[in-house]
Amino acid sequence: MKKLLLTTIAGAALLAGAAQADEKVTACLITKTDTNPFFVKMKEGATAKAEELGMELKSFAGKIDGDHETQVAAIETCIADGAKGILLTASDTSSIVPAVQQARDAGLVVIALDTPLSPIDAADATFATDNFLAGELIGQWAAASLGDEAANAKIAMLDLGVSQPTVGVLRDQGFLQGFGIDLGDPNKWGDETDPRIVGNDVTAGNEEGGRKAMENLLAKDPMINVVYTINEPAAAGAYEALKSIGRENDVLIVSVDGGCPGVANVADGVIGATSQQYPLLMASKGIEAIAAFAKDGTKPAATDGKDFFDTGVALVTDKPVEGVESISVAEGKELCWG
């Protein structure tokens, strides 16, 4: 009987071990929305890499950009489901921190994608474009394109949201510095005193928001001639507002994203230049990092000299300027997404 009992226990242990070995590692992807092409491509990258590594991926998204409550609920679901890690593009980079800490306390690794948390070390790691550099590149290009007239520019700043998520602050402040405008507090936008800035308005990162924000700022100064936009959907909306008053050909629009529709708009002259980022790479590297953490507890390291893992950025334009490195629209189309 004793021998039979020991054999039964040993067999049960082997079966339990086999079941554990066969159990898939679960990862979660939580994006701001599931409609923006940037996040669609991010999901594609995460899905493909999870399938390649034999992992289970659960995806969640806010209803609109800024939907903080849905993201908090998604984090709670991931904890309850026993996920090993979360990839997160936060709508509210400071308010999400307690929920992120709850996940980390539960033993999950949390990696911010594209949008650093505030503070950045609230996540275990951040995989992102250098968003300040992305803004700086389009600012440098715009100033160089205008030449001496940059001193007389009238600039509209089309930002993301009133909560000022880090990605929006970084791009905005990078653009202004690149253009040659002194910053106020670099951790927020809207406190600059340079008279060339007509004003700031918010777009929610979509076309309709871009159109409304552009209309609001044109009402303030109809002679705006430079438009910074948080992303390419907002840029498309700004262009439509300008077109409605016959000014689409004499205003310089710059943006950030590098999606295929945005690159096509550069080719068509809607956008003068855009800084291209690589969401598929962010997401696939994030899934790899969760797999490594599940295997042996390894957490991803930042790029040397930075507090995040830099997934790269390139300025896309067919009107290059001296002193600002760029790639052509043809090259941008080979690397674009969406």
The CATH code of the domain that includes 140 is 3.40.50.2300
Residue 93 backbone dihedrals phi, psi, to 5 degrees: -75, -15
Consecutive H or E run containing 87: strand 85-88
For residue 3, name the pLDDT band (cuts at 50, 70, 90): very low
Task: Give pLDDT, residue 65.
Answer: 83
Q: Which of 12-26, 81-95, 323-337 has the lowest mean pLDDT?
A: 12-26
Task: Give pLDDT, residue 64.
Answer: 86
Regarding whether 228 and 249 lie in a shared domain, the answer is yes
Nearest to 322 by CA among 130, 135, 143: 143
242: tokens are 């300008």
Q: What is the pLDDT of residues 174-232, one digit of tens each?
A: 999 999 999 999 999 999 999 999 999 999 999 999 999 999 999 999 999 999 999 99
Regarding whether 292 and 267 lie in a shared domain, the answer is no
Task: Report the helix count and the strand count for the chain, using DSSP H and E.
Answer: 11, 12
**pTM for this predicted structure:** 0.82
Report the Cα 24 to chain-centroid distance in Å: 28
328: tokens are 């052509």
Regarding whether 318 and 219 lie in a shared domain, the answer is yes
Task: Give pLDDT, residue 2.
Answer: 37
Task: Give pLDDT, residue 22.
Answer: 53
Instruction: Determine, yes or no, domain membership for 17.
Output: no
What's the domain range around 204? 131-276+313-335
- Counting residues of the chain whose pLDDT is more than 70, the rounded percentage is 93
Q: What is the pLDDT of residues 303-312, one digit of tens each?
A: 999 999 999 9
Q: Report the 10 Å Cβ neighbour count for 131.
A: 25
Burial of 226 (0-12, 13-18, 19+ CB in 10 A): buried
Query: What is the arithmetic mean of pLDDT over 253-281?
Result: 96
Q: What is the pLDDT of residues 12-27, one digit of tens each?
A: 333 334 334 457 999 9
Regarding whether 329 and 189 lie in a shared domain, the answer is yes
Query: Rg of the chain's alpha carbons, rounded to an integer?
Result: 23
